[in-house]
């Protein structure tokens, strides 16, 4: 007997096809598709609804939250059934006990996380990467997870406080880092992640450890992939498509770029697509290089107390070197403001902010608009605000006509939810439902069948995740049942549910009727279903 029969839905198989029929589930897997006469313990009449594989989110930061929140809220509610952790080379394992505070402090800045929530919430149960995977398996998460070995985390574990200040490790330290990468791969890591991004700064403005590492160090560590796993990197301008291709060629493994240089920007409208074409040229040479493509406008929350958005500008070297209580005085200094003006007049590659003050908002209104009303220069208005005012930068992927060709490009993989991070002012965990709402239903940029493929089998194939992202007999029963005429996400809402009483922004699903992970329903479109232990698996086996 089947455990579940979903009858009469329009089934989108994840591969670009569809049919009207039934899907039967038994023992966590899809038992049959088409027309089923077999009995089931539970039958759902899904006439008029659509059924698709669960969304695969390859760019999340749930590493810390997973230890205290088995639901991985809000992702499963928003249709995600598999999430990849450890992105950008940031996470919490391996982590010797004496490095815990430093790791959490860095995460709080670079990923915009509530430090008090991290300190109150993280459950430390292991120091090794393998022990961390065992911990997650014991928790019983509501979604499947795969975890990347992380360059910055490993550098911190080996080099301690010097990880962010010393570019060249000792021979012994290098050997230990290589051993930890190999150990993580043997334990079941999906691959290795790093960052060269000039925008990735941690506690008190110090660079995240991997960003000061040499090209040689990175290539030595990625060599430990040894024919398995993928490589994903926040590249910045330093790790070009050609550099990423050299690593893909060295290891014979797919490489994925994450950088604002590949995002549509009105200031340089042709640049992003040129990166995709350079990656296509690499693929034509037999080397897989792909790009994480955001389907939503990319937003950054920040204050002038921790202006990580601006750290890649030379003028902010003074800010990074100063104590927090000294920063307000520097912002008032005419010499500092003049220096920043010069930076904006001659911007470097890979920076986030190019000087368009209409892209920086305070309480929903742009700095350019507020400055005009106040009769001030926008830059002066901005630095007169004070250090504690909360701001949002909406800098990239804001033009549908420019973004659509990137989403359609086969060198892209729809990603960059950053779920689990930057919780105070936005929530992009619903990227998949937004994609189905905006890019499928509203703009008709994609058919529903093709849109489902972009969210499911496409990331699974490129990330070498077996048995997921498809609806066919034998595949994992990770499923999303929804109304295609209503599917989408709600406006942002604030909820005070973080450890220590911290608040975060959340979105609810719209038009979702059910989410199943390995055959067990985890959400009914209104709320999470109670399970003593969730059905999510820690994925450790990947295709070569």
What digits encode the pLDDT tens for the residues 7-41? 999 999 999 999 999 999 999 999 999 986 678 99
Distance CA 145, CA 193 (A): 15
Whether the Cβ atoms of residue 140 and residue 70 lie closer than 8 Å to each other: yes
Q: What's CA 42's distance to the chain center, in Å?
A: 35
Strands 479-482 and 50-53: antiparallel
- List, in sequence order, every beta strand (DSSP E) within 46-156: 50-53, 55-57, 80-85, 144-150
For residue 273, count CB atoms less than 10 angstroms from its CB and return exposed for 0-12, middle for 13-18, buried for 19 or more: middle
Interhelix angle for 171-187 vs 151-159, to 10°? 130
For residue 412, the number of C-alpha atoms closer than 13 Å in the C-beta half-sphere is: 25
- Residue 37: its pLDDT value, please? 63
Distance CA 75, CA 374 (A): 41
pTM, full prediction: 0.91
Instruction: Provide mean pLDDT across the span 129-156.
Output: 98
Q: What's CA 418's distance to the chain center, in Å?
A: 3
- Residue 112: its pLDDT value, please? 85
3-state secondary structure of 214: coil
Homologous superfamily (CATH) for 55-297+397-429: Metal-dependent hydrolases (3.20.20.140)
The rounded radius of gyration (Å) of the Cα atoms in the chain is: 23
Place of tokens 């604002």: 260
- Residue 506 phi/psi, 5° resolution? -135, 160
Torsion, Cα of 289, 294, 307, 496 (10° steps): -130
Instruction: Provide mean pLDDT across the span 289-297.
Output: 96
- Residue 181 phi/psi, 5° resolution? -65, -50
pLDDT at residue 298 tops 90: no
For residue 148, count CB atoms less than 10 angstroms from its CB and return exposed for 0-12, middle for 13-18, buried for 19 or more: buried
What are the angstrom distances between the C-alpha of 178 and each of 52, 151, 184, 391?
40, 10, 10, 40
Strands 512-517 and 520-523: antiparallel
Interhelix angle for 100-110 vs 151-159, to 10°? 150
pLDDT at residue 277 tops 90: yes
Reported as a single tens digit per residue, the pLDDT across 474-504 is: 999 999 999 999 999 999 899 999 999 999 9
- Provide the 10 A C-beta neighbour count for residue 324: 12
- Residue 188: its pLDDT value, please? 98
Distance CA 53, CA 517 (A): 10
Structural domain spans, the chain: 55-297+397-429, 307-392
Whether the Cβ atoms of residue 439 and residue 397 lie closer than 8 Å to each other: no
- Residue 187 phi/psi, 5° resolution? -75, -20
Whether the Cβ atoms of residue 177 and residue 223 lie closer than 8 Å to each other: no
Q: What is the DSSP letter of 255?
A: E
pLDDT at residue 544 tops 80: yes
Q: What's CA 383's distance to the chain center, in Å?
A: 30
- Residue 233: its pLDDT value, please? 98
Torsion, Cα of 520, 53, 45, 533 (10° steps): 10
The band of 542, judged by pLDDT with boundaries at 50, 70 and 90, is very high
Q: What is the DSSP letter of 396?
A: E
The band of 308, judged by pLDDT with boundaries at 50, 70 and 90, is confident
Whether the Cβ atoms of residue 97 and residue 115 lie closer than 8 Å to each other: no
Whether the Cβ atoms of residue 232 and residue 190 lie closer than 8 Å to each other: no
pLDDT at residue 236 tops 70: yes
Of the listed ranges 76-80, 222-226, 410-414, the one predicted with least confidence:
222-226
Spell out the residues 6+ positions from residue 217 whose beta carbon is closer than 8 angstroms to its own: 168, 169, 174, 177
Question: What percentage of residues in the chain have a pLDDT greater than 90?
Answer: 87
Whether the Cβ atoms of residue 456 and residue 469 lie closer than 8 Å to each other: yes
Instruction: Provide mean pLDDT across the span 198-207.
Output: 87
3-state secondary structure of 487: coil
Element (H, E) at 222: helix 215-222
For residue 326, count CB atoms less than 10 angstroms from its CB and return exposed for 0-12, middle for 13-18, buried for 19 or more: exposed
């Amino acid at each position: 007997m089947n455990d579940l029969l979903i009858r009469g839905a329009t089934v989108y198989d994840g591969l670009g096809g569809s049919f009207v029929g039934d899907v039967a589930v038994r023992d966590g897997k899809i038992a049959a598709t088409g027309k089923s006469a077999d009995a089931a313990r539970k039958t759902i009449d899904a006439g008029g609804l659509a059924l698709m594989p669960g969304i695969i989110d390859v760019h999340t930061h749930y590493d810390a939250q997973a230890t205290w929140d088995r639901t991985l809220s809000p992702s499963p509610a928003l249709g995600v059934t598999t999430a990849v952790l450890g992105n950008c080379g940031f996470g919490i394992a391996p982590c010797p006990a004496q490095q815990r505070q430093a790791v959490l402090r860095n995460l709080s800045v670079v990923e915009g996380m509530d430090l008090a929530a991290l300190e109150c919430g993280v459950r430390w149960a292991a120091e090794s990467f393998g022990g961390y995977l065992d911990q997650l398996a014991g928790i019983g998460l509501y979604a499947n997870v795969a975890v990347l070995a992380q360059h910055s985390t490993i550098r911190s574990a080996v080099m301690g406080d010097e990880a962010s200040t010393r570019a060249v490790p000792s021979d012994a330290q290098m050997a230990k880092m290589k051993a930890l990468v190999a150990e993580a791969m043997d334990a079941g890591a999906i691959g290795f992640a790093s960052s060269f991004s000039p925008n990735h700064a941690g506690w008190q403005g110090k660079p995240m450890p991997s960003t000061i590492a040499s090209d040689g160090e990175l290539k030595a560590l990625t060599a430990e992939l040894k024919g398995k796993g993928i490589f994903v990197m926040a590249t910045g301008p330093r790790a070009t498509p050609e550099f990423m291709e050299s690593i893909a060629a060295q290891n014979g493994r797919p490489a994925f770029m994450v950088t604002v240089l590949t995002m549509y920007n009105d200031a340089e409208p042709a640049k992003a697509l040129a990166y995709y074409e350079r990656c296509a040229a690499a693929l034509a040479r037999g080397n897989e290089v792909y790009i994480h493509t955001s389907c939503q406008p990319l937003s950054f929350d920040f204050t002038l107390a921790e202006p990580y958005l601006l750290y890649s500008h030379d003028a902010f070297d003074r800010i990074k070197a100063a104590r927090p209580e000294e920063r307000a005085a520097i912002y008032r200094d005419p010499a500092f403001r003049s220096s920043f003006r010069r930076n904006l007049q001659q911007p470097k590659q890979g920076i986030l902010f190019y000087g368009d003050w209409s892209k920086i908002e305070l309480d929903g209104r742009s700095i350019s608009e507020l400055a005009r009303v106040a009769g001030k220069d926008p830059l002066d208005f901005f630095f007169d605000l004070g250090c504690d005012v909360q701001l949002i930068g909406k800098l990239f992927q804001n033009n549908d006509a420019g973004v659509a060709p990137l989403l359609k490009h086969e060198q892209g993989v729809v990603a960059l939810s950053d779920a689990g991070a930057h919780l105070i002012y936005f929530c992009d965990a619903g990227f998949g439902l937004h994609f189905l709402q905006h890019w499928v239903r509203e703009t008709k940029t994609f058919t529903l069948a093709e849109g489902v493929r972009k969210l499911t089998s496409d990331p699974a194939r490129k990330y070498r995740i077996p048995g997921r992202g498809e609806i066919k007999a034998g595949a994992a029963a990770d499923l999303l049942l929804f109304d295609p005429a209503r599917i989408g996400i709600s406006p942002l809402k604030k909820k005070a549910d973080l450890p220590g009483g911290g608040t975060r922004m959340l979105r609810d699903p719209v038009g979702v009727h059910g989410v199943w992970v390995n055959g067990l329903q985890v959400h009914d479109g209104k709320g999470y279903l109670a399970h003593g232990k969730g059905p999510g698996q820690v994925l450790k086996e990947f295709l070569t």
